[in-house]
Amino acid sequence: MVEVIKRPEDTLNFGGVWHSDTTYLETPAMGALLYGVDIPEQGGDTMFTNMYNVFDSLSAGMQSFLGSQMAINDADNEAIRATRPLSTNKGLRATHPVVRTHPVTKRPLLYINKAHTTRFAGMSERESAPILDFLFERIMQPEFSCRFQWQRGSLAFWDNRACQHYPLNDYQGELRKMLRVSLAGDKPR
């Protein structure tokens, strides 16, 4: 169990960019449980987005193009580095399908995330950027997300294969303390 804590004097927000956990590993986390110990008076909600719905919103042509692509996922990508300067995951990198089939539901979903995905396999970052940026923007569209409002003792349990999350950093000067358990996952296919 890991403590996820933001103290009143902290300004950085751990993981403060849309992401799926540990996609820089060969076998990223299957899911996670997050338990609220100390919750700010106001703010500190977590957004979750549904990656099946994001995939379904794309045109058939785009779905087919993405379906044949692999992508590089990097622990030390610039977008996430800014949210955790003391990262111990330096150098970790994994290649995963851009569209993965969920092992339980057998449904396809979009499996790239702004925090870790840097480029398509076989393409440069510059070549990949226009399409990745388009997709990152799509992922942030509010229609695909819900917003979880914490209370002391709340427990969130998410499927890290099928959704992404974003912790809001709107409670400066307040304490937020959570406990997290990550569940082992399988290799995305």
Q: What secondary structure does DSSP assign to 38-71, as a single string?
A: E--SS---EEEEEHHHHHHTS-HHHHHHHHT-EE
Is 116 annotated as catalytic? no
Tell me the C-alpha distance between 21 and 164, whole Å.
8
Q: Minimal distance in Å, beta carbon 165 to Fe ion?
A: 6
Rounded to a whole number of angstroms, the minimum distance from the CB of residue 20 to Fe ion is: 8
Residue 153 CA to residue 16 CA, distance in Å, equals 22
- Active-site hit among 81, 93, 102, 180: 180
Burial of 81 (0-12, 13-18, 19+ CB in 10 A): middle
Residue 132: exposure state from Cβ atoms within 10 A (0-12, 13-18, ≥19): buried
Judged by the rule CB under 5 A, the positions of this chain that interact with Fe ion are 15, 21
CB of 128 or CB of 160, closer to Fe ion: 160
138 is a catalytic site residue? no
Taking the least distance from each CB to Fe ion, the nearer of 62 and 140 is 140
Tell me the closest approach of the beta carbon of residue 167 to Fe ion, in angstroms: 7
Name the residue nearer to Fe ion (CB basis): 116 or 119: 116
Pick from 120, 114, 108: which is nearest to 161 by CA?
Answer: 108
Respond yes or no: is residue 19 known to be catalytic. yes
- For residues 22 and 128, which CB has a smaller minimum distance to Fe ion in the complex? 22
Which of 10, 19, 56, 170 is flagged as catalytic?
Answer: 19
**From the candidates 7, 21, 107, 186, which is the catalytic residue?**
21
Residues with active-site annotation? 19, 21, 165, 180
